Structure 1
């Protein structure tokens, strides 16, 4: 009996891509949809600020920690099997969140959601090379990247609409039909897992423990920075512990015969520089996505739904870049396209850094579009570069390493750039003559200053707070632009040329025949 045709030559490959993008879309949505619901949850469940912080922090911790080993588990036991398990877990955790009646239950549900997301993101990427041939892989990566990015600004939009019409648990319940659809489509459309030898090397438990504890300490310390500052003991101690544990993890992985991540991948210039460029871009874009929604809501006066709509120009630029990068890379090469994208990203951020208190949304939409265009032109070819460097039998470990490093870069970006935003805001806001408690509230955040100004009918305070926030935002955008310029120079100097990039590992006829649903 002849083997069925490979999925890479079947029209069903685009439906398979839709299933993969749907799965990462719900992860992106869930990462930000919770933010608009926090005030409602605080009121309904009587949650304090520390508990609210861990609704987001618990998700971030489990996502970051679980992402490293899940790639190796996928390589050993099947990408499709673990991906579908992650989607199912995500759906069940969403149901648990919708039914939660206490803050602790919400934190637990969010932590389990992080575990599901840790399986979905790297393994959905690892499946792409088995669905698409080399020529079409950049287009698939572009669509996958657009789906991951789309969820971030759309999350507040969806959350705002749900909260306007339903109770707070609807932001969790919304995930259920989407997860069910992604699970059904994945079962039907994704290529079956390859048969593996029954004997597998022993799992590196100590390496997993060192990596998990190191990442936990790093993320824990980092998410406390905006609240406590860089020099507080509760920040310094976990960051120092993270440095020790992650150093021990690297030493362990370099010496272990069967590590959970192959650090030797960094010896390949495609993987090394593709990953570093992706980290630089993620650092900058996460900082932008952290500050811009606050600007649109607090300074320009939009609600959550309106804010989500007004961030969409960034996604429009990303989608335009995703379409443009496919023909540009073969013609010009990654050493031209990626630096150009980084220069455009820098131009967008630096243009945004010229905003002032009277700047309207039209100007914001312009520089957001440029930022999205540069983001797509840089990150899509960089991701394709990384994927082309991975061995066909261990794509899960490689994508887990890429996504973990990107995730940590994003966490550090939000913490560092968030501190810069706070510094710029405090340097300009004027609270002279206010009662002590009112001054403290006004200096804590621009939204707090607006609330105090409303209560005291102090238009001068509101104007001062808005001007101060724009000043802090401009510092953040300047930093993002500078980081992007630095990344562009590094890309020009160190990215491999076309000859290196064209080397890919060819799939054997057997591997092609196995890539069928």
Structure 2
């Protein structure tokens, strides 16, 4: 047989192999479970601490000013290292970096659970944030690499649902653990979860390509500039909510962060040979639209959880367990609505689905602003929170899909890191702005002679309205998103 005959005989078989349809197996289900569990670890630790802060303050001797760093220490390092860690996964291997992140997260959780002083806890929260930054971009990148476009929507729907639910569910879990075995178990419970995810990743995720076979290199200057820039910007945002926007503690890190990020943009576009953030990504309209919209949606969600939790504890006088359990119905409605999102995507497309979700969430947030000093859970909290839950559920999947559309496989890690940077940094910025607005108006009302409860309520109402404004802005930025999802996404 000649070479030409052999080629003709082999070609149809090769073509059939290339076009073989994807079959979803039990292994693929287990992969999604493992990846969603890893993402839950990251997201739940953003919110799970909120209801336990009074107990932590009393036991470890935190001051009022330093207590916020139990939450912010995690947020600062998480947001600061996401982009760098996403790129590390593209170069060194997504599975390898995921396992490293789980190890870091487990060690930090163990030491935090055993902490005997305030700054040990803050340092371990910062280390947890580093571990989360290693984990989070890898989860979405692995889904994008493992699943082709059609089944990918199903996998990312589960991922988005897990990420969205865990942020709210963390409040309930935190309340239960704080009232029950104690706040230390908020950290110690991470250990068996990390162990289970590590075992699952070793069993069901394929090994990464060897680093030696990769031609990409780290952009050291870009890595330092972007990471330091985001870190300083996040610190400035956090400080602004505590000290005010005009305070040197806020102005200096904000200015330095903006300067470093501006240099990073210049360096990536004109100097770097193998950039940390390839500018080809920011030329993709779906990626730009997804990141801007995610920042606005994230800011509204972070602010809602923060302001609503304070309203329930300071005005309605709920304890941590009551506050946490109050979010269970919203968690369930998000679960139900998220299950229907893939079908809705197939009918309406990405752009319209996100716009509808943002409008619904805006309406729910505006209804929260009607909460008064004599409000009740059933009327003022439950109804609006269910509406917000439906709206948020409709944005999770389409924004995650749009963030990776048209992105090459070897850049999925950095694209995933970028959408998470938008969510975390956007959430921190929105939260700090809305917290400052609410606190400022409360102070104004107190100086005008209004009693404490009514003044606090007035501040919270204005905070809810500001959150609604941010969500309304996301309606307009969603116009940048593509009309239709990838083929067969439904």
TM-score, length-scaled by structure 1 = 0.85
Partner of 1:486: 473
Unpaired runs of 5+ in structure 1?
433-460, 505-517
Partners of 2:69 and 2:374 in 1: how far apart?
A: 36
What do residues 197-248 of structure 1 show as CA deviations (whole Å, max 9, x unaligned)? 5353442111111112211211111111122111111111211111111100
CA distance 1:155–1:486, shift in 2 (3 Å)? closer
Please report how far the alpha carbon of residue 349 of structure 1 lies from its aligned counterpart in structure 2 after TM superposition. Answer: 0.9
SS of residue paired to 2:68:
helix
8 Å contact kept, 2:78–2:133? yes
Partners of 1:181 and 1:264 in 2: how far apart?
A: 37
What do residues 380-413 of structure 1 show as CA deviations (whole Å, max 9, x unaligned)? 2121111223211221011111111221101101
What do residues 233-280 of structure 1 show as CA deviations (whole Å, max 9, x unaligned)? 111121111111110011111121201112321211111112211111
CA distance 1:411–1:8, shift in 2 (3 Å)? farther
CA distance 1:390–1:410, shift in 2 (3 Å)? same
Partner of 1:228: 243
Which moves more between the two structures, 111-120 or 186-195? 186-195
CA distance 1:161–1:431, shift in 2 (3 Å)? farther
8 Å contact kept, 1:430–1:465? no
8 Å contact kept, 2:174–2:324? no
8 Å contact kept, 1:344–1:371? yes
CA distance 1:215–1:366, shift in 2 (3 Å)? same
Partner of 2:391: 374
8 Å contact kept, 1:277–1:379? no
Instruction: Trace 1:165-184 onto structure 2 (pairs within 5 A).
Output: 165-184=180-199
SS of residue paired to 1:135:
helix
Partner of 2:428: 411
Please report how far the alpha carbon of residue 354 of structure 1 lies from its aligned counterpart in structure 2 after TM superposition. Answer: 2.0
Partners of 1:37 and 1:485 in 2: how far apart?
A: 32
CA distance 1:120–1:8, shift in 2 (3 Å)? farther
8 Å contact kept, 1:7–1:131? no
Partner of 2:7: none
Q: Is residue 495 of structure 1 aligned with residue 481 of structure 2?
A: yes
CA distance 1:335–1:163, shift in 2 (3 Å)? closer
8 Å contact kept, 1:213–1:245? yes
Q: How many residue pairs align between the two structures?
A: 470
Partners of 1:161 and 1:495 in 2: how far apart?
A: 40
Across the aligned residues of Structure 1 and Structure 2, the Cα RMSD in angstroms comes to: 2.4
Q: Is residue 321 of structure 1 aligned with residue 337 of structure 2?
A: yes
Partner of 2:286: 270
Instruction: Trace 1:414-425 onto structure 2 (pairs within 5 A).
Output: 414-425=431-442
Match of 1:22 among 27, 37, 41: 37
Partner of 1:309: 325
Instruction: Trace 1:241-390 onto structure 2 (pairs within 5 A).
Output: 241-255=256-270, 256-363=272-379, 364-390=381-407
Instruction: Trace 1:36-75 onto structure 2 (pairs within 5 A).
Output: 36-75=51-90
Which moves more between the two structures, 317-326 or 267-276? 317-326
SS of residue paired to 2:209:
coil
Partners of 2:171 and 2:351 in 1: how far apart?
A: 36
8 Å contact kept, 2:357–2:393? yes
Which moves more between the two structures, 188-197 or 171-180? 188-197
What do residues 153-206 of structure 1 show as CA deviations (whole Å, max 9, x unaligned)? 332322332233334422211111111111112221223323555353442111
Please report how far the alpha carbon of residue 136 of structure 1 lies from its aligned counterpart in structure 2 after TM superposition. Answer: 2.6
Match of 1:89 among 93, 99, 104: 104
Partners of 1:408 and 1:381 in 2: how far apart?
A: 20
Please report how far the alpha carbon of residue 431 of structure 1 lies from its aligned counterpart in structure 2 after TM superposition. Answer: 8.5
Partners of 2:235 and 2:100 in 1: how far apart?
A: 27
Partner of 2:128: 113
Which moves more between the two structures, 60-69 or 422-431? 422-431
Partners of 1:63 and 1:321 in 2: how far apart?
A: 28
CA distance 1:317–1:157, shift in 2 (3 Å)? closer
Please report how far the alpha carbon of residue 131 of structure 1 lies from its aligned counterpart in structure 2 after TM superposition. Answer: 3.3
TM-score, length-scaled by structure 2 = 0.90
Instruction: Trace 1:121-132 onto structure 2 (pairs within 5 A).
Output: 121-132=136-147
CA distance 1:213–1:299, shift in 2 (3 Å)? same
Partners of 2:321 and 2:309 in 1: how far apart?
A: 11
CA distance 1:193–1:7, shift in 2 (3 Å)? farther
